[in-house]
A = this chain, B = another copy of it.
Amino acid sequence: MLGFSPPSLEKLVREFSLLPGIGKKTARRLAFHLISGDREKMGDFANAILEAKEKLVHCKICYGITETEICPLCASRNRDRTILCVVEKAADILPFESSGAFKGLYFVLGGVLSPLDGIRPENLHIPQLIERVHSDEVQELILALGSSPEAESTALYIDRKLADTSARRTKLARGIPVGSDLEFIDEITMLRAFEERVRV
């Protein structure tokens, strides 16, 4: 807090600096940008936050972000209900939908298992997932979790919990990203791409 700087400006700077990846200097630059522009636009920004706060809820079926009780994806009659893509967080749905390759449904776990941080299956939506696969028409479960040790062991845990079902468990292929220069590929990605190489 700087003595000469107005409290309401410092408060705005602090709010921006709480965002991920936004340091003190960037927060100040963003705050100055907002207050230096059209004041009406500040109202628009505040209202967008308040409206999102008010309207956004978790879908009762997939736990994604939605404005309705059941999200449009879960409610759609055009999606393949036999295939379920399990992701860590709602934001992970976007790249699937953008690619247009996936026509099934999603399920948001809400994180990955991490016993050291006290995150157990019941802290995530894992019981609900197991229940759904047992009672629903799911034939394939794509475990699209990250590549951290926690994410990998979460996938293993779910796989084991569903060993008694006929639902196939799969994961995404790992390898060289399309368009990447081999020179810049990290060692672990290269190792995976090598180990999981396929016929031309």
Contact = CB atoms under 8 A, between A and B. Distances in A.
Interface string A2-21: 11111111011011001111
Instruction: Determine how many copies of this chain the complex contains.
Output: 2
A66 to B, nearest CB: 6
Contacts of A43: 50, 53
A15 B53 contact: no
A58 B32 CA distance: 13
Interface residues of A, number: 57
Interface of A: 2-9, 11-12, 14-15, 18-22, 26, 28-36, 39, 41-56, 65-67, 71-73, 89-91, 93-94, 97-98
Given A6-B56, A28-B91, A30-B19, A11 B67 contact: no
Interface of A is mostly: helix
Contacts of A52: 8-9, 11-12, 31, 34-35, 42
Contact of A33 (B2, B14, B19): B19
Given A45-B15, A94-B2, A39 B53 contact: yes
B8 A56 contact: yes
7 contacts: A5-B94, A9-B52, A11-B48, A19-B33, A32-B65, A32-B89, A34-B52
